[in-house]
C-alpha cells in the first residue's frame, strides 16, 4: 500500500472517499456492537461472533517437549517439528511446505485429508524421521470449529475459498487420524486441535506474560483472547480452569455497513451472507474490492478506457500483492496508463486498505476494552498474517485509529508481529494439553 497524495478526481473525492471512510463515530459504534455480540455469543444467544471455547488457557512458559505441528488454513500447508525448552523459548526445526491444489481445496473431503496424511509421510521421508518412534502432532486447522475437547472438534463451515465436501459437521481430528491410519502412518497421535489465532497468542504468551490477544490479518481474519469471567460462558463453568481462550471468529461479525461493492463481492463469493468483516478486512478480498471499484469507474467513463475492461474481467485476478507494488498496474499487465489514472487507482487501493486497517485496529480495541475497560494495564497483541507483516501502512493505520480512540492510553496496546504461531503456538498447545491431561 503506497501512500499517495490527494487525488483531484471527482469520482474519487466526492463518491469513493466518503463511501470507504471509517470514521471515529463508526469506530465507537463498532466497539459497542462488538461488546453486545461478544456477550450474546458467550451466553449462547444468537450472535455473529461465534465465541468458540478452545479448552485451553495460556501457557506458563515452562512447558517442554518435542512436537510436530500441521498447519492448514490457507493455500499452503506446513508440517513442522518444534522443541520447547521450558524457558519461554521454542525452536522450530525441520519444516516442509506444500501447496494445496485448488481441486483438493474444493474437491471431496476424504481426498483433502488423504492429502494431509501424505504430506506427513513426505515430511518423515524428507527429514529422516524414525518410523518406530511415536510423535504427538498438533493440528492447526484455521476454520470455525465447534470444539468439544482439546483434541476434538467439528467443522462449522468452510471459509477462505475452501469447499471440500463432507467435512462440515465432522470431527476434523478424527478425519485426520483416520487418514493417517489408512496411509499406514501408525506412529503419529493427533493430540491437539488449534486455530491460527490461538497459535499466535500461545507463541507470544510463552515468553510474554502481558500477551492476551492473538489476531490474524492474512488471507482471512480472526482473533482470540482469554476469557476469565467463566460465568459468562454458557455451560462452561463446570470446566475447572481459571481462564479459557475464546476463538471469536470475528471474521463473521455482521454489524458493519457494507458498501455496494462489499455487497457485490459477497453475492458472488462461495459463502454469501457470511464472513462480512473478513470480506472487508482480509487479504483474500481487498484486491477483489479494488477490482470491482475499477470496473465500475471504467463503466462510468471516469477511469482508463473502455478497452481496458478486459484486464479486469476475472474475479480475484487483482490481488493484495499486486496492490502492494509501487507500480501496481504495470505489475498487473497494464503498462503506460495515464499518471492521473495510476494515481486514482493507487488512491482507491489506499481507501480500501485504510478502511480495512481501521476496522481491524478498532476491533482489537473492542476486545482489549472488553478485558480491561479502563485500559489500565499493558496488553501485548500477537499479530500474524501477510497484511500486517508486508504492508507497513496497514499497521500505521491500525495504530492511528487506536490512538484516536484512546489518546491517553494507546501505548497500553502493543501490536507485535508473531510469525510462527501455527508451528510454535500449536506445539505449546499440545504441551499445555499434555499437562492438563496429567493433572
HSE-up of residue 343 (Cα within 13 Å, Cβ side): 13
Q: Is 142 a residue of the active site?
A: yes
Interacting stretch for ligand BGC, rule CB under 6 A, among 56-64, 216-224, 332-340, 362-370?
216-224
Cα gap 280→259, rounded to integer Å: 10
Q: Could you tell me the three cell numbers for 226?
A: 482469554
User: Least CB distance from residue 12 to ligand BGC, whole Å?
Assistant: 30
Question: Which three cell numbers mark 337?
Answer: 496508463
Q: Which residue is nearest to ligand BGC (CB)?
A: 220
Nearer to ligand BGC, 57 or 220 (CB): 220
C-alpha cell at 296: 465500475
Three-class SS of residue 318?
A: coil
Burial classification of residue 14, based on how many CB atoms lie within 10 Å of its CB (0-12 exposed, 13-18 middle, 19 or more buried): exposed
Segment interacting with ligand BGC, rule: CB under 6 A, options 90-98, 116-124, 146-154, 194-202: 194-202
Between 72 and 375, whose beta carbon lies closer to ligand BGC?
72
- Total number of residues binding ligand BGC (CB under 6 A)? 17
- Least separation in angstroms between residue 217's CB and ligand BGC is 8
Candidate residues 11, 249, 262, 288; the one interacting with ligand BGC per rule CB under 6 A: 249
Residues 61-100 that bind ligand BGC (CB under 6 A): 73
Three-state DSSP class for residue 244: strand
**Min separation Cβ 227 and ligand BGC, Å:** 17
Please report whether residue 343 would count as binding ligand BGC according to CB under 6 A: no
CB of residue 246 vs ligand BGC: minimum separation in angstroms?
12
Number of other CB atoms surrounding residue 411 within 10 Å: 12
The single residue of 11, 71, 136, 196 carrying the catalytic annotation is 196
Span from 84-92, 142-150, 231-239, 303-311 in contact with ligand BGC (CB under 6 A): 142-150
- Measured from the Cβ of residue 174, the count of other Cβ atoms closer than 10 Å reads 15
Residue pair 70/119 in contact (Cβ under 8 Å)? The answer is yes
Q: Which residues contact 416 (CB under 8 A, 6 or more apart)?
A: 204, 208, 211, 380, 381, 382, 383
CA 348 – CA 345 distance, rounded (Å) = 5
DSSP state of 143: S
Residue 134 class from Cβ within 10 Å (0-12 exposed, 13-18 middle, 19+ buried)? exposed
| Percent helix, percent strand, percent coil in the chain, to nearest 5 | 45, 20, 35
Closer Cβ to ligand BGC, 205 or 351, answer by number: 205
Q: Is residue 154 close enough to count as binding ligand BGC by CB under 6 A?
A: no
Q: How far is the CB of 162 from ligand BGC (least distance, A)?
A: 9
**What is the closest distance, in whole angstroms, from the C-beta atom of residue 201 to ligand BGC in the complex?**
11
Alpha-carbon span 301 to 310, nearest angstrom: 15
Among 90, 216, 281, 290, binds ligand BGC (CB under 6 A): 216
Instruction: Work out whether 420 is an interface residue with ligand BGC (CB under 6 A).
Output: no
Among residues 196, 288, 341, 420, the one that binds ligand BGC under rule CB under 6 A: 196
User: Rounded to whole angstroms, how far apart are CA atoms 112 and 260?
Assistant: 35
Out of 55, 143, 261, 312, the residue judged to bind ligand BGC by CB under 6 A: 143
Q: Tell me how far, at minimum, the Cβ of 114 lies from ligand BGC, in Å.
A: 22
Smaller CB distance to ligand BGC: residue 145 or 298? 145
In the region spanning residues 290 to 329, those forming contacts with ligand BGC, defined by CB under 6 A, are none
- CB pairs under 8 A, 24+ apart, for 167-171? 167/109, 167/112, 170/109
Determine if 50 is a binding residue for ligand BGC (CB under 6 A): no
**Binding string, 221-240, against ligand BGC, x = CB under 6 A?**
xx------------------
Determine whether 78 is an active site residue: yes
195 near ligand BGC, judged by CB under 6 A? yes
Residue pair 178/345 in contact (Cβ under 8 Å)? The answer is: no
- Judged by CB under 6 A, does residue 384 bind ligand BGC? no
Both ends of the chain: CA-CA distance in Å?
49
Cβ proximity of 438 and 93 under 8 Å? no
Q: Tell me which of 11, 47, 48, 142 is the catalytic residue.
A: 142
Q: Does 362 bind ligand BGC (CB under 6 A)?
A: no
Does the footprint of ligand BGC cover residue 159 (CB under 6 A)? Answer: yes
Phi, psi (rounded to 5 degrees) for 236: -95, -10
Which residues are identified as catalytic?
78, 142, 196
Instruction: Enumerate binding residues for ligand BGC (CB under 6 A).
Output: 73, 142-144, 159-160, 195-197, 216, 218, 220-222, 249, 251, 278
Amino acid at each position: 500500500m503506497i501512500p499517495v497524495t490527494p487525488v483531484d478526481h471527482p469520482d474519487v473525492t466526492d463518491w469513493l472517499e466518503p463511501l470507504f471512510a471509517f470514521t471515529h463515530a463508526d469506530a465507537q459504534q463498532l466497539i459497542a456492537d462488538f461488546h453486545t455480540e461478544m456477550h450474546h455469543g458467550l451466553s449462547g444467544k444468537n450472535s455473529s461472533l461465534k465465541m468458540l471455547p478452545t479448552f485451553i488457557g495460556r501457557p506458563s512458559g515452562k512447558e517442554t517437549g518435542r512436537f510436530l505441528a500441521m498447519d492448514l488454513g490457507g493455500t499452503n500447508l506446513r508440517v513442522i517439528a518444534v522443541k520447547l525448552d521450558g524457558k519461554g523459548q521454542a525452536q522450530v526445526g525441520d519444516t516442509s511446505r506444500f501447496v494445496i491444489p485448488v481441486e483438493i481445496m474444493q474437491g471431496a473431503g476424504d481426498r483433502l485429508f488423504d492429502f494431509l496424511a501424505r504430506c506427513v509421510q513426505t515430511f518423515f521421508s524428507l527429514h529422516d524421521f524414525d518410523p518406530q518412534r511415536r510423535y504427538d502432532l498438533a493440528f492447526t486447522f484455521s476454520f470455525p470449529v465447534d470444539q468439544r475437547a482439546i483434541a476434538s472438534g467439528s467443522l462449522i463451515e468452510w471459509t477462505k475459498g475452501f469447499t471440500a465436501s463432507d467435512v462440515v459437521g465432522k470431527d476434523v481430528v478424527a478425519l485426520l487420524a483416520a487418514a493417517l491410519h489408512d496411509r499406514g502412518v501408525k506412529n503419529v497421535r493427533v493430540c491437539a486441535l488449534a486455530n491460527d489465532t490461538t497459535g499466535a497468542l500461545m507463541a507470544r504468551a510463552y515468553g510474554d506474560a502481558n500477551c492476551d490477544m492473538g489476531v490474524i490479518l492474512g488471507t482471512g481474519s480472526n482473533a482470540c483472547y482469554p476469557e476469565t469471567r467463566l460465568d459468562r460462558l454458557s455451560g462452561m463453568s463446570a470446566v475447572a480452569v481459571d481462564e479459557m481462550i475464546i476463538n471469536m471468529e470475528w471474521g463473521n461479525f455482521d454489524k458493519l455497513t457494507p458498501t455496494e461493492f462489499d455487497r457485490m463481492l459477497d453475492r458472488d463469493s462461495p459463502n454469501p451472507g457470511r464472513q462480512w468483516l473478513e470480506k472487508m478486512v482480509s487479504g483474500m478480498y481487498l484486491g477483489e474490492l479494488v477490482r470491482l471499484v475499477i470496473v465500475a469507474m471504467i463503466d462510468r467513463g471516469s477511469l482508463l478506457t473502455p478497452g481496458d475492461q478486459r484486464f479486469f474481467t476475472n474475479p480475484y485476478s487483482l490481488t493484495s500483492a499486486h496492490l502492494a507494488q509501487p507500480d501496481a498496474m504495470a505489475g498487473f499487465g497494464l503498462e503506460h496508463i495515464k499518471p492521473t489514472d495510476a494515481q486514482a487507482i493507487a488512491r482507491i487501493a489506499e481507501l480500501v486498505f485504510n478502511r480495512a486497517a481501521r476496522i481491524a485496529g478498532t476491533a482489537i480495541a473492542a476486545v482489549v476494552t472488553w478485558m480491561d475497560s479502563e485500559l489500565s494495564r499493558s496488553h501485548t497483541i500477537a499479530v500474524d498474517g501477510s497484511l500486517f507483516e508486508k504492508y507497513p501502512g496497514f499497521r500505521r493505520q491500525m495504530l492511528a485509529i487506536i490512538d484516536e480512540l484512546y489518546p491517553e492510553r494507546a501505548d497500553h496496546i502493543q501490536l507485535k508481529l508473531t510469525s510462527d504461531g501455527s508451528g510454535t503456538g500449536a506445539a505449546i498447545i499440545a504441551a499445555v494439553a499434555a499437562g492438563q491431561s496429567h493433572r
